[in-house]
Amino acid sequence: MILSRRLIGLLMAGWDALFLDNGLFEPDPAHHVEWNRGAHLVRGAAHCGTCHTPRNLFMAGGDVGRWHAPNITSDPNSGIGGWTKAVYLKTVQPLPTPSGSADIVDPQAIIRAVQDEVFPLDVNYFRTHAVLSASLKRLDRLWKSVSSETALDESEAFRLRQAQAMTATARFMYSAALLRTETRGMHRRDDFPTHDPAQHHRLIVSGVDTITVRQETIDPGVYREAAKQ
């Protein structure tokens, strides 16, 4: 069953009336700064605790349809109390709503996530292998999260397709940029700052879920003819 936006809004209004606390977050002086920062996110800004920690009989974690809310309490067995910081950082990724979520996919959120990877000059202009690789990994995770999504609202279908196309294009761009280990034209690599005559070829990108890049040799005469015109 697909719920209309109006019905979802009414349900959320009822939930807010029952459980929303409009008060300001008060840090606990018994805990350190990082603990309080996390508590602020879980209890307030990101409201993770709403679905992922025990509340009452209405919501205490578990499954709702296809959506799973894991236990993120400090319990070392059923929760995340035994996690290291490295495991946490690897697991928690700020991606748009994945398939099966209780929320409607937001195309604008996907677009913002792509823009966060392609707009910063320290990623897309001052390019290095490390920076490009890290950005491409985030874009690949984003693609896996949104590539098979369909809009619940027909009016959002076009925007969702645009957002998916932007994600795919950004992945094509950085996949090719990683293999162009030189600075040429508008392509700049801080770790390869000079022109490399040996890379006188095109890079042809193909694939969607799995991207491949191949070289295509170019006849030097093509550029000489173009320069004379």
pLDDT, tens digit, 9 for 90 and up, residues 159-190 = 889 999 999 999 999 999 999 999 988 888 99
Class of domain 24-53+64-228: mainly alpha
Contacts of 156-162 spanning 24+ positions with Cβ under 8 A: 156/104, 156/105, 156/107, 159/107, 159/108, 160/105, 160/107, 160/110, 162/107, 162/111
Q: Which residue has the higher pLDDT, 52 or 123?
A: 123
pLDDT at res. 47: 60
Q: What is the pLDDT of residue 212?
A: 94
The residue with greater pLDDT, 101 or 10, is 10
Mean pLDDT, all residues of the chain: 76
DSSP state of 61: S
Least confident of 101-105, 113-117, 137-141, 204-208: 101-105
The DSSP 8-state label assigned to residue 179 in this structure reads H
Alpha-carbon span 146 to 108, nearest angstrom = 12
Altogether, the residues listed in the chain come to a count of 229
In a 3-state reduction of DSSP, which class is residue 64? strand
Per the model's pLDDT, the better-predicted residue between 179 and 38 turns out to be 179
Q: Supply the pLDDT for residue 29.
A: 86
Mean pLDDT of 51-58: 56
Domain limits of the chain? 24-53+64-228
Confidence (pLDDT) at 175: 96
CA atoms of 163 and 110, how far apart (whole Å): 6
